[in-house]
Amino acid sequence: MGLTKSENFTNQQNELANIAKALGHPARMAIVDYLLTVDTCICGDIVNELPLAQPTVSQHLKELKNAGIIKGSIEGNAICYCIDENTIEKLKSYFDNILSNLEKRKSTCC
């Protein structure tokens, strides 16, 4: 049917999968990349940077925000979007963990 209940998995698995899923689209990676290049995060021009229509970009921003990857604050007329460091830290430490785990039992197989 196409629906696995999230109760079947751990909180960490669900949470990280959610973050990864949000990054799992080139347009959203491009948005993250772009946010890293701009000094001030008043970012109304993300739309101009991407080959996508404004509603599409808005939707992608929403998903990044829901996943906690970016946060936005109202700045008068515009909206200030920027990367949420905490979420990136979370990802980094997860992968760090995997790597140190792999180091421990090096060369057992494959």
Partner DNA sequence: AAATTATATCGTAATATTGCAATGTAATAA
Partner DNA sequence: TTATTACATTGCAATATTACGATATAATTT
Per CB under 7 A, residues contacting DNA are 1-4, 21, 24-25, 27, 42-45, 47, 52-56, 58-63, 72, 74, 76-79
Instruction: Report, in Å, the least distance between residue 100 CB and DNA.
Output: 26
> Which whole-number Å values give the CA distances from 40 to 43, 96, 106, 107, in the listed order?
8, 30, 44, 47
Question: Among 78, 70, 77, which Cα is nearest to 34's?
Answer: 70
User: Of how many residues is the chain composed?
Assistant: 110
Eight-state DSSP code of residue 26: H
Q: Please, which of residues 65-104 interact with a second copy by CB under 8 A? A: 71, 73, 80, 82-83, 85, 88-89, 91-92, 95-96, 98-99, 101-102
Nearer to DNA, 36 or 103 (CB): 36
